[in-house]
Each structure stands twice: as C-alpha cells, then as structure tokens.
C-alpha cells in the first residue's frame, strides 16, 4: 500500500458516479486514479480529489493496470484563497496542464511535485507578499528541471554578467544580449520582458509579469513544442485582460 501526498492535475467523468483523477504524487510521479462514487454528494473523498487540491492518498499500486483504485484521500489544503483569485487559479491551471502533458512519464517526479506544491502554496498563503513572481519562478524552475536552463544573468554574446537589464531576449535560444552588444540595433523583445527578468534576478516584484511569463513560455515552446495544445493558456489570457 502506498501513502503519498498528491495534487490532482486533471479530473474527468468516467461514468454517472465516478471520476478519473490524474494526480501528481510526491512518490510515484503521475498516477491515474479511478474514483468510484466520487461524484456522489456523500463521497468520502469530498474535496480531496478536486483539481489543484493538496491531499494525501492511499492506494495499492498495480503496475499492470493503467488506472489505480484509490483507497483513501485526505484533504490537506483545498487552496481556497488561490481559487478565489482568478488570476492565480488560471496560472495554476497552466502549471498543472504543462506537467500533465510534458512531464516525463513513468518516473517519480519529486522535483516537479515540490515545485508545484510550493507555487500553489505561495498562491494560497502569500496574501501580503507579492504574488506576481510566483508563476515566472515556477516556469524558470521547470526549465531547469527539464534541462532547458535559462541564464538570465549573463550576456550570451560577450559573456559578461549583466549589471543592468538586458537589451534583448531571444526566445528561440534563451539568449540575453547586453546593451553594449546590441549597440544601435533594435531589440525584438519588449522592454517589459527584460525588465521583468531583471527584477526576477534581484528577487524584486515584477510589475507586469505577463511579459516575462510569455517570454519563458515561448522559450519552452521552442524546446518542447507545445502551447497550442495547452488549453488553459487561453483561459489565462482571457483572465489577464480582466486585471488590466
């Protein structure tokens, strides 16, 4: 029997009364659970298997089965504050979908779990702290975890450490270019993007994080080729408009 913490990434109906919940577990990577009777009001699982909730699950792992039967699920944190803040929720949904679709299959994903747990925990509890950097930080960590390390501190042309915001950024390669190397050239990146990277580097609050977020998403897309399939990005874009 396995007992592990888990965050549900995606859930869908399996029958009139049951769910299938795909969860990122702390110990076993992504596991698909069949949750019999999960849709009933008196289900013992209650909110424990709601998407993005943090729970502890107990199950017997059958390596020959695609779906695992869940024995118990105990809700640890439903992420109430995060759900009430649409922008945080939209960002968390993008994180969940990226992990679901692009994390390596069939292996433990301890770092991915730690990173998603921390980000959702920050969305939940960072009421008085700036929330703006949480998603960018998560994207940076994900680049690192999946082998696409992004160096925001160095000019890719002259190799010097940046002592001011970079002048340009190339999402195809992840390269930053300093003002001296760019010279009189016209940057392709927006000023908000490189400003955002600069703030991130010094751990300061990013004012318009969507530019840095989109730039790193574009960088990731060039490396793993996704985004078109990430449905929750549309919801994030729609939600961002409400906050302008």
Q: Which positions touch Zn ion (CB under 5 A)? A: 155, 157-158, 178, 181
Q: Which residue number, 157 or 222, has a Cβ lying nearer to Zn ion?
A: 157
CB closer to Zn ion out of 172 and 180: 180
The minimum distance between CB 150 and Zn ion, in angstroms, equals 17
CB nearer to Zn ion: give 67 or 181. Answer: 181
Smallest separation, CB 185 to Zn ion (Å): 12
State which residue, 155 or 215, has the beta carbon closest to Zn ion.
155
Long-range contacts of 181-186 (CB under 8 A, 24+ apart): 181/155, 181/157
Tell the smallest beta-carbon distance from residue 165 to Zn ion (Å). 13
Separation in Å, CA 184 to CA 154, 158, 180, 181, 226 = 20, 16, 9, 9, 34
C-beta of 135: minimal distance to Zn ion in Å? Answer: 28
Q: Are 38 and 18 in contact (CB under 8 A)?
A: yes
Q: Which is nearer to Zn ion, 167 or 230 (CB)?
A: 167
CB of 157 to Zn ion, least distance (A): 5
């Amino acid at each position: 029997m396995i007992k592990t913490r888990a965050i549900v990434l995606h859930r869908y109906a399996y029958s009139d009364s049951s769910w299938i919940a795909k969860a990122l577990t702390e110990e076993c990577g992504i596991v698909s659970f069949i949750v019999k009777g999960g849709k009933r009001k008196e289900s013992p699982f209650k909110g424990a298997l709601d998407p993005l909730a943090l729970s502890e699950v107990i199950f017997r792992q059958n390596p020959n089965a695609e779906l695992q039967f869940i024995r118990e699920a105990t809700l640890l944190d439903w992420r109430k504050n995060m759900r009430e803040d649409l922008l945080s929720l939209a960002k968390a949904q993008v994180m969940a979908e990226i992990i679901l679709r692009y994390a390596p299959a069939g292996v433990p994903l301890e770092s991915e779990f730690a990173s998603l747990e921390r980000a959702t925990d920050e969305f939940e509890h960072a009421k008085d702290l700036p929330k703006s950097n949480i998603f960018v930080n998560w994207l940076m960590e994900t680049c690192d975890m999946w082998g696409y390390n992004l160096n925001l501190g160095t000019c890719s042309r002259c190799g010097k450490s940046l002592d001011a915001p970079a002048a340009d950024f190339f999402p195809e390669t992840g390269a930053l270019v300093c003002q001296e190397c760019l010279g009189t050239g016209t940057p392709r990146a927006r000023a908000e993007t490189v400003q955002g990277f600069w703030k991130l580097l010094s751990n300061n609050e990013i004012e318009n994080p969507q530019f840095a977020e989109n730039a790193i998403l574009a960088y990731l897309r060039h490396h793993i080729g996704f985004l078109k399939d990430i449905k929750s990005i549309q919801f994030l874009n729609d939600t961002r408009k409400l906050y302008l």
